[in-house]
Amino acid sequence: MAKLYLQRHLKSQWNTENRFTGWVDVPVSKEGADSAKDAASLLKEEKFDIVFTSPLARNMQTTIKILRNLGKSPIFAHLDDGKMQKWGNFDGGVGECVLTYVSEKLNERYYGELQGLNKDEAKEQFGEEKVLLWRRSYDVAPPGGESLKDVCKRVDPFYKKYIEKDLKDGKNALVVASHNSLRAIVKYVEKVSDEKIIDVELPFGSLIKYDFEKGKYTKLQ
C-alpha cells in the first residue's frame, strides 16, 4: 500500500490582497510563512519518498518551508516532456534530502484577463455568480484563461505518467501545488463529477491524505 498526500501552498502575497494570481509568480506572504510550522505538523507522522511541485515561487517556497520544518531538504529536478535536469539543493540543505520533481503541468489555472484583479472588484464588474462560475466550475473559463477542464487536460496525463506510477511502485508521494491543479487531481482520484467539482475547495496550507492499493484510492481523515 502506498500513500498520496496533496498539500496546497501557503498563503501568497496576492492571496492576502484578495487578487487573482494564476501564473503570476507571487511569493509566499509573511502570514503564509508564519503558518509553515502548522502545515508541516500535519505531515510530522507521515513518511513520503518523493515530492512533486510546480515552478511557481509560492509552491516551491511552500515545499522548502514545510520540508525544512520536518528536518528535510528538497533536491529539485525539473521534469517536463520526458526531460529531467537536476538543479541541486535549492536552500543549502538540512537533514534528509528528498527528490522533488518540478513541472509546469502542476501550475495553477491560468486566469487570463482576471490575473491581478481584486476578486471583490471582479465581482462588481462581472457579477458574483459569473465570477464564482469561472473560479469553481468545470468547463467555463474566464476571459482569455483556462477552465478547470483545461487544467485537467494537462494535469491528468502528468499525474498518471509520473505520480500514479510511483504510487503503483509502492512509493509514498507528496504533491505541493496550487488550488486548481490539486482540484484536478482530487477530481481524478475521487471520481468527482463535472457538476460536483464546484463544491470542492482546499484551504491554504491544507492537506488531503489517501491510501492507494490495487489501483484504488481511499481518502483518509
3-state secondary structure of 213: strand
CA–CA distances in Å: residue 119 to residues 17, 30, 202, 218? 9, 21, 18, 34
Neighbour tally for 201: CB within 10 Å: 12
Cell numbers describing residue 26: 507571487
| Distance from C-alpha of 193 to C-alpha of 196, rounded to nearest angstrom | 5
Position 185: which residue type?
I
| Annotation marks residue 195 as catalytic | no
Report how far apart, in Å, the C-alpha atoms of 217 and of each of 8, 110, 158, 164 are: 19, 28, 18, 11
Identified catalytic residue from 9, 146, 164, 179: 9
Instruction: Judge whether 21 and 111 are in contact, CB under 8 Å.
Output: yes
Q: In what order do the strands lie in the sheet with 216-220?
A: 83-89, 72-80, 96-102, 50-53, 173-177, 2-8, 207-213, 216-220
From 45, 108, 128, 179, active-site residue = 108
With CA atoms as reference, report the closest residue to 53 among 6, 116, 110. Answer: 6
The x, y and z cell numbers of residue 82, run together, are: 520526458
78 included as an active-site residue? no
Active site residues: 9, 108
